[in-house]
Structure 1
Amino acid sequence: MFQRILFPTDFSEPSMKAMESIRDLKAAGTLEVVMVHVIDQKDITMIASGGAGFLGSVPDVETEVQRRLREEIQNSIIDTRRQLEREGLRVHLRTPIGDPGKEIVKAADEENVSLIVIGSHGRSNLRDRLLGTVSEYVVKNAHQPVMVVKR
């Protein structure tokens, strides 16, 4: 029924909990996972400015913090992909830059997935909200069924 699913991840705890549900879906016939890690445009601006925000100038060279962050993201992508592949799933990776909610919905449409599996909250992890802003956007705007995994 859900042979090809979309798994948006920011590598937060709720996101990784959603990955556990994907393992269960494998037993129900899931064959392929499109893993999406959106690089938030707002984060790039902050990182590129070295933390100075919009008031600072963008440095021409990569800082140590920027380099470590880039390597951390690359390692997280590789580790998560390997975990899914060990489960016997084919994994396709997308790392768009932009607004996370919009990019997730766009990827789901372009990849022709039958289900989106998303964590209820991401890195911001605001406890006073029922859903995080990204998962809420996806639920409201996706053209596919969305499975929201609670933390």
Structure 2
Amino acid sequence: MFERILFPTDFSEPSMKVLDYIPALQEAGTREVVLVHVIDSKDITLIASGGQGFLGTVPDQETETQRQLREEIQHRILDTRRALERRGVKVTVRTPVGSPGKEIVAAADAEGASLIVIGSHGRSNIRDRLLGTVSEYVIKNARQPVLVIKRDIVIGR
């Protein structure tokens, strides 16, 4: 039933909890995972500005920051892909640039996903929100069913 799932992640702990559910999804028929990491266009704008401040921008630092970000993303994608492949699923990777919610919904349609499996919260992990803004957008706008994996709640923080 859910042969091809879309797994959007920003590599935060809440979003990576999806990996724990892969065996159960395989029992439900999952054979392929489309791993999606959206490079937020707002982040690119911030990085491209070179951290403009009192001293202006420093082109060498901007280039170095962009290189480091690209390498970190590639490393995390590769690690996540290997973790999925070890569990016996075929993996396709997409790294679109844009607004995360919109790009996730577009990728699900373009890839013919039968299910989107998303963490309830991403990097911001705002404690007082029931859902993160990206997962909320995906739930409201996706044509596919959406399985939301809840974050761990820590009492006393």
Amino acid of the residue matched to residue 91 of structure 2? V
Aligned ranges for residues 15-26 of structure 1 at < 5 Å? 15-26=15-26
How far apart are residue 50 of structure 1 and its match?
1.8
Q: Give the total of aligned pairs.
A: 149
How far apart are residue 60 of structure 1 and its match?
7.5
How far apart are residue 29 of structure 1 and its match?
1.4
Say what the alpha-carbon RMSD is for the aligned residues.
1.7
Amino acid of the residue matched to residue 4 of structure 1? R
1:15 partner SS: helix
Cross-structure match for 2:84: 84
Q: Which runs of 4+ in 1 moved over 3 A?
A: 56-63
> Could you report, residue by residue, the CA deviation over 1:18-54 in whole angstroms, capped at 9, with x for unpaired residues?
121123201221000011000000000111112228x
> Could you report, residue by residue, the CA deviation over 1:71-127 in whole angstroms, capped at 9, with x for unpaired residues?
111100000000000100000010000000000000001111110000000001111
Amino acid of the residue matched to residue 23 of structure 1? P
Kept in 1, the 8 Å contact 2:15–2:122? The answer is yes
TM-score (norm 1): 0.92
The structure number with the bigger radius of gyration is 2
Cross-structure match for 2:93: 93
Cross-structure match for 2:48: 48
**Cα distance change on mapping 1:93 and 1:30 into 2, 3 Å:** same
TM-score (norm 2): 0.89
Amino acid of the residue matched to residue 85 of structure 2? E
Cross-structure match for 1:126: 126
